[in-house]
Amino acid sequence: MANSPQSKKRARQNERRFAVNKARRSRIRTYLRKVEEAIASGDKAASQAALRVAESELMRGVTKGIVHKNTASRKISRLSARVKVLA
């Protein structure tokens, strides 16, 4: 349990950051799921559009510190390869 004023403040800040980060992670996963669904449906145009949005969202997650840069790059690379196969 936090006792000092500083540790109480850190606990409050951690709760707030946790909520924000959780929302961002959820948002990223939603866009990734949309790409997966577009790929599964076989619609190339929709999957390309979904990938473009998901890519920017993933990179935003990298700048915010939610996702590691290499993880985001790997996900984008694998998704774009699957979208490319639809051609």
- Give first-to-last CA distance, the chain, whole Å: 57
Q: Which domains, from first to last, does the chain contain?
A: 5-85 (1.20.58.110)
Residue carrying the six token digits 């690379």: 77
DSSP code at position 43: -
87 has pLDDT over 90: no
**What is the predicted pLDDT for the residue at 52?**
97
Q: Is pTM, for the whole model, over 0.75?
A: yes
Token code pair at residue 14: 């951690």
**What is the predicted pLDDT for the residue at 58?**
97
User: How does residue 1 score in pLDDT terms, banded at 50, 70 and 90?
Assistant: confident
Token code pair at residue 19: 């909520």
The tens digit of pLDDT for each residue in 38-85 reads: 999 999 999 999 999 999 999 999 999 999 999 999 999 999 999 999
Residue type, 38: A
**What is the predicted pLDDT for the residue at 53?**
97
